[in-house]
Amino acid sequence: MLPTSFPDKKEIAKLTASMLLEIKSVDFNSKTPFTLASGLPSPTYVDCRKLMSFPRIRSTLMDFLTVTILRNIGFEAFDNVSGGETAGIPFAAMVAERMALPMTYVRKNPKGYGRNARVEGLMREDDRVLLVEDLTTDGNSKISFINAIRKTGASCNHTAVIFYYDIFKNAKPLLSNNGITLHYLCTWWDILAEAKKRNAFDHETLTEVERFLEDPETWQDKCKKI
């Protein structure tokens, strides 16, 4: 079913943050930092894959993501919804189902045998493709996926995610310079605000997390020197 009427952007962000905290998809640990995919330390971690195991929250967030796409871009803007390997695949499938569109997925690397393809499923040269992922940090993986889509002859100028870090200043300019517009439900700032409201973590942890969010590069440099 196609969702068309939902809360405004601010309320969606608040509710999304609340749901991620409720199912413990979010973890803050300033004393034993997590290691990001980049290899850099972080006192924050979000695991959107957990959403798949919570049907009511999963369904609500997929409705939120679909209506965000419809509001921001249009009802007839796409011919295909593609997911990035691997976390983006189930979410792309659920959004494609709601939008009544074909679904494909993009591999991180060529398969290595057979067609040696990165794009799986039927994607036509004139398709207008939406890339759906679980989250965005600095934007680099989105560019890789979208370049693979564009090599098929299809166009892809939009990516939609559940969660956007919104702390790395070069992320949005990087995407924009590559002709990509980012759409998302919530950020670390939304989660921090909701975590404070709920007293979800102790004051010392929340204070240190806020220091990281305000200046991640300096926090990471300091952490590496310890």
pLDDT of residue 222: 83
Rounded to two decimals, the pTM is 0.93
Instruction: Examine residue 162 and state whether it is found in any structural domain, yes or no.
Output: yes
Report the CATH number at residue 98.
Answer: 3.40.50.2020
The dihedral through the CA atoms of 16, 137, 196, 199 has a sign that is positive
Establish if 25 belongs to a structural domain. yes
Residue 131 lies in a domain: yes
Residue 204, pLDDT > 70, answer: yes
> 178 lies in a domain?
yes
- Confidence band, pLDDT 50/70/90 cuts, at residue 52: very high
| Separation of alpha carbons 123 and 158, rounded Å | 16
Q: Residue 72 sits in which domain range?
A: 9-218
Tell me if 2 is assigned to some domain.
no
Q: Decide if pLDDT at 166 tops 80.
A: yes
> Is residue 186 situated within a structural domain?
yes
Q: What domain count does the chain have?
A: 1
- Mean pLDDT score of the chain, rounded to an integer? 93
d(CA 170, CA 160): 18
- pLDDT-wise least confident of 112-116, 126-130, 209-213: 112-116
Residue 30 lies in a domain: yes
pLDDT reported for residue 226? 59
Could you list the beta-strand ranges (E) of the chain. Answer: 26-28, 34-35, 41-42, 44-46, 80-84, 103-106, 119-120, 128-136, 155-164, 181-187
pLDDT of residue 114: 64
